[in-house]
Structure 1
Amino acid sequence: MNCGERGAPSERAQSEVLGTVLLLGLTVAVVGTTVALGGAALDDSQRTADFQRVEGAMTQVDSKASLVAHGESPAQRVRMDVRRNADLRVDEDAGWMRIEVTTSESPNATNETVPLGAVVYERGGDTVAYQGGGVWRSTGGGSTMVSPPEFHYRGTGGTETLTLPLVTIENSSERLGDEVRITGSGARPEQVFPSPNGSNPLLGGNVTITVQSDYADAWGRFFETRTSASVTDLTDRRVEVRLRTKTIHPTLSAGVSATGRSTFDTGGVDRLEADSYDSTDETYANQTPSDGAVIQTRDQFRLTAGGGGNTETITIRGDLIAESYNIPSGQSDKLNVTGDRRTEAAFDSLPAVDGAITARIDDVRDRDLAANGDYRGSGFDLSGDDVEEIRNDTFVDGDVSLVDQATLIVTDGATLHVNGTLTAEGTASRVELDSGGGDVEVLTEGAVNLTENATIRSLGGGNADLSVDDSLSLAGTASVTTGADTRLEVHNTGDIDIDDAASMTADEDKSGNLWTYSSADTIEFEGGVGNGVRFTGMFYAPQSAASLADEMEIYGSFTFETFSFDDAEIDIHYDESLQTEQPFEGNSVPVVSHLHVSRHGVVVESD
């Protein structure tokens, strides 16, 4: 016991020493960990600061290389301040851009691959590079754009222009120091397009731009932003963007086109006069009509039936095109053509439209608004001064009717699906398609009938679609109209009747704002005497038989399979602005009518 008691202080002393050692070890470990973590954080901060500094320096390289490349300065200098643990180099093999141009006149107008090269800063696997006139950054998770290349896409209405002055790195690969000097390559700028095989404006083809680069995904996003075109990722390092060139459509380039293989018989025409105007300038009434009208048929053109008929005169201020002609003896003075009367196959057969129309109708059906929108279990009737607004996607399970001065408004980007008919009549009943808050759509499963002074009006500056999976009829002074800044597309599958003084028109005679597509068997126009049918727009129904009776005035273009006439008095004013439009494409497909691509080489080396 005594021995044990005498040993207790010694054991306590040993415990105190051991505790001190452990505490000291723990302190050292904590301090070491703190220093290590702090060092890592400091290194990350330094790394971030270095990349930000280099991005700024590369932007200076971009700006000063542009001055040299375009001849505004013989030489420029930039301080890069590379510092340790990093690499700055010229890589002449760092990517390329291919420009391919096809047109109707030259299928191989241009196909040239331009090496881009790059000035690359690299640290720890991440890079910042000057390439193709832009600055890009790549990390393990992809690439981003720091500053854009000189890629300019602008213009509308036939002046869409793509200008691409490519700045390329011409000297061979080498390491660079803290100071770099940028000089010209000694070669004159090379014009890639226009080329000996292709010129502006571009018609009937495509412009394809392909980029191979470590920064391909950032290039692709840049193309999408600037052109609204779809970009295809060919590989991890290669992207492609396609722009359609302006195309002259075989029937939209004419005032009247008969697409079927049957005689274009004018025996039922009392009087027909055709001329042209350009709605991009002014209204028809405010300009002098031109001789750009074209009437064409894929079969025979016969002046009169039975060698006589009631035809007084047919005057075409433009061209007449047919596979053959039947002009009875003594009747030729009734036909006056100021342009060419050509004997040729006007165009090949056109694709059917029923599939495209059905696809647009099915697109609305597939949204299942009965389940996914506001559901109304029955139709509704509006009368007097009633106003009904549709602001959300809505399904109406029944018929909709308007009388008197009632108004139905579809707005705020809504889609209205009517599982029934739409009928409007009265002194001022109105269906308003207001695209000011977003594009709007209406689909009716049943017929649309407008009588008296009823109207369907599209306005708001956007796009509106009216799809009718049944018949469409307008009578009296009923109308379908669209504003000068608004595009309306009508899709229809059943027969169409437009009678009396009814009209389908685009404001200010801008026919490109009203497109009517139909797969109907028959389409009948029967104008009143002294105040006939008026149509301003593009009527595209290459599968349909059209019948025109009495008085009618057309601004724009008509395409039908066959035409028949009955006591017809017709004025046709072809809108030349339609020449490069395409059916069903609207404004959604990026186009380019003028292309300017040049190559400007620079040399980047240590100073």
Structure 2
Amino acid sequence: MRRDTPATTDRAVSEVVAFVLVFAIILGSVGILYSTGFQAMDDYQETEQLVNAERAMDALASNFNDIIRYNGVNQRYGELSLRGGAVRSSDSGTNLDILIEKDDENRSISDRDDAEFLQYYTGETLDLGEFAYTSDGDRIAYEGGGLVRGDDSEDWSLVRKQPHITCSDDREAAVISLVTISADDRSVQSSSGLGVTMSVENRSSAVYTDDVDSVSITIDDDDTAYNDAWNSTLDTDRGWTDNDNGDDLRRTCPADRVVVTIVEVDLEY
């Protein structure tokens, strides 16, 4: 009868232990790859979805802004692929005021020229409303004719497309063209495409030239979810003077010619 020697037995045990260790390492590696790989894939898909949504919203904003660029355009249509995200419209967004300094008197446009712009004001401010795409807390919003990126925390925001607001130092002129959304509060979530129609409800424009010294835009900190974005839009590098009051934003453009256009729109989808 054959008997294993101690050396043979030790070698067999070592081979079994080595096999178990190698197998454990393989299983551990597969587990780590599975968990991290799928998480990375999910993160990539979410990022790609937001990038695609931002491109789509940018194209939609450019299309919609034809109503600002051309007086004869009263309606625009566009489509968005939601891919599980949601869109919402609201007549509640950033609230701001536009003030014209004229004859050494600083007054809101709602109180000038027979109060032509008063119809767009709610109390002492102009509410821009917003149309936003949201997904997992991230937000891409069309507001005032511009496009901003933020999230539900409202701690940060970035400008993706500037609204039609210009302060020209060399020409001493300012142009402020804003879209205000008066659509009812509504939200739609879908995995497919969605058609959106923007229709002009009202349009007003005024040119201020006589004895004009400046134009200012003011936004209280509590009246916007996109404080960082508006700070960037009305930055001193873009010709504006910083007259902020604490957390409240107040920017002034020295100008002897100011053109203001407000277009009120409705959204259907």
Equivalent residue of 2:93, what SS? coil
CA RMSD, 1 decimal: 3.0
1:42 lines up with 2:51 in the alignment? no
Q: Which amino acid aligns with 1:48?
A: T
Q: Is the 8 A contact 1:137 1:146 kept in 2?
A: yes
Q: Which amino acid aligns with 1:143?
A: S
Q: For residue 80 of structure 1, what is the aligned residue in structure 2? A: 80
Per-residue CA shift, 1:488-546, capped at 9, x if unaligned? xxxxxxxxxxxxxxxxxxxxxxxxxxxxxxxxxxxxxxxxxxxxxxxxxxxxxxxxxxx
Describe how 1:549-564 pairs up with structure 2 within 5 A.
none
Q: For residue 115 of structure 2, what is the aligned residue in structure 1? A: none
Q: For residue 248 of structure 1, what is the aligned residue in structure 2? A: none
1:180 lines up with 2:180 in the alignment? no
Q: For residue 119 of structure 1, what is the aligned residue in structure 2? A: 131
Equivalent residue of 2:38, what SS? helix
Q: Is the 8 A contact 1:223 1:231 kept in 2?
A: no
CA positional deviation for 1:33 = 1.1
CA positional deviation for 1:72 = 4.0
Equivalent residue of 2:202, what SS? coil
Describe how 1:516-595 pairs up with structure 2 within 5 A.
591-595=254-258
Per-residue CA shift, 1:254-289, capped at 9, x if unaligned? xxxxxxxxxxxxxxxxxxxxxxxxxxxxxxxxxxxx
CA positional deviation for 1:114 = 1.2
Q: For residue 210 of structure 1, what is the aligned residue in structure 2? A: 218
Distance in 1 separating the partners of 2:91 and 2:244: 25
CA positional deviation for 1:169 = 1.6
Q: For residue 129 of structure 1, what is the aligned residue in structure 2? A: 141
Q: Which amino acid aligns with 1:81?
A: S
1:101 lines up with 2:110 in the alignment? no
CA separation of 1:109 and 1:149: change in aligned 2, threshold 3 A:
closer
What's the TM-score once normalised by structure 2's chain length? Answer: 0.76
Q: Is the 8 A contact 1:92 1:171 kept in 2?
A: yes
Distance in 1 separating the partners of 2:104 and 2:73: 40
CA separation of 1:605 and 1:161: change in aligned 2, threshold 3 A:
same
Per-residue CA shift, 1:471-491, capped at 9, x if unaligned? xxxxxxxxxxxxxxxxxxxxx
1:189 lines up with 2:203 in the alignment? yes
CA positional deviation for 1:74 = 4.2
Equivalent residue of 1:214, what SS? coil
Equivalent residue of 1:94, what SS? coil
CA separation of 1:605 and 1:12: change in aligned 2, threshold 3 A:
farther
1:201 lines up with 2:210 in the alignment? yes
CA positional deviation for 1:12 = 5.2
Q: For residue 67 of structure 1, what is the aligned residue in structure 2? A: 66
Q: Is the 8 A contact 2:240 2:252 kept in 1?
A: no
Aligned-residue identity in percent: 22
Q: Which amino acid aligns with 1:75?
A: Q
CA separation of 1:216 and 1:202: change in aligned 2, threshold 3 A:
farther
Instruction: Name structure 2 gaps, 5 residues minimum.
Output: 111-123
CA positional deviation for 1:595 = 1.9
CA separation of 1:95 and 1:229: change in aligned 2, threshold 3 A:
same
Q: For residue 604 of structure 1, what is the aligned residue in structure 2? A: 267
Q: Which amino acid aligns with 1:180?
A: G
Give the paired residue count.
244
CA separation of 1:118 and 1:66: change in aligned 2, threshold 3 A:
same
Per-residue CA shift, 1:136-195, capped at 9, x if unaligned? 112677322111111123364xx622121111221022124532322214x32134x56x
Distance in 2 separating the partners of 1:241 and 1:137: 22
Q: Which amino acid aligns with 2:229?
A: A
1:171 lines up with 2:183 in the alignment? yes
Distance in 2 separating the partners of 1:182 and 1:44: 32
CA separation of 1:17 and 1:73: change in aligned 2, threshold 3 A:
farther
Tell me: higher relative CO, structure 1 or 2? Use CA pairs within 8 A at least 6 residues apart.
2
Q: Is the 8 A contact 1:202 1:593 kept in 2?
A: yes
Q: Is the 8 A contact 1:121 1:129 kept in 2?
A: yes
Runs of 4 or more off by more than 3 Å in structure 1?
4-19, 68-75, 105-112
CA separation of 1:14 and 1:72: change in aligned 2, threshold 3 A:
farther
Per-residue CA shift, 1:427-455, capped at 9, x if unaligned? xxxxxxxxxxxxxxxxxxxxxxxxxxxxx
Distance in 1 separating the partners of 2:29 and 2:268: 48
Q: Is the 8 A contact 2:243 2:251 kept in 1?
A: yes
Distance in 2 separating the partners of 1:75 and 1:20: 72
What's the TM-score once normalised by structure 1's chain length? Answer: 0.36
Distance in 2 separating the partners of 1:107 and 1:239: 16
CA separation of 1:74 and 1:46: change in aligned 2, threshold 3 A:
same
Q: Whose helix fraction is larger, Structure 1's or Structure 2's?
A: 2
Describe how 1:315-354 pairs up with structure 2 within 5 A.
none
> Which one has the largest radius of gyration?
1
Correspondent of 1:146 among 153, 160, 163: 160
